[in-house]
Amino acid sequence: MQYFTALKMGEKRVKASQELLTRYTGHAMPALALKDNKDNKWEPVGEENLYALVKEDAGYMIALCDRNGIAKSIAQWFTEGTKEEIVAKLKSEQNMQEYFGKLSLPI
């Protein structure tokens, strides 16, 4: 796939994930639109949404990612209680599953 085509497709998926995460957290930021690969083949992030949690000293970050762990949207920093409320809503209202693998975040 051509870079520009993959990027545009990925940006649409990132925007949808950002809007979804914002609905549950109040504010979310866009993350990665393209899959990280080693062979110079451009691919957009996947369509599916899984949630992933990252614990830091400042609290919890919640990310929506594809099945490969490419973060499409992130929201930070939440207390454990707030994180639990958000995750419960994602599970019940969106039937969303948790991602447990290595998460790729924009750095």
What domain range includes position 87? 3-94
What one-character-per-residue DSSP string does 42-81 give?
--BPPS--EEEEEEETTEEEEEEE-TT-BEEEEEEEE-HH
DSSP 8-state code for residue 40 = S
Domains contained in the chain, number: 1
User: Does 81 fall in a domain?
Assistant: yes
- How does pLDDT run across 22-80, given as a tens digit for each residue? 999 999 999 999 997 777 789 999 999 999 999 999 999 999 999 999 999 999 999 99
**pTM for this structure?**
0.93
pLDDT at 89 over 90: yes
Is residue 67 one of the residues assigned to a domain? yes
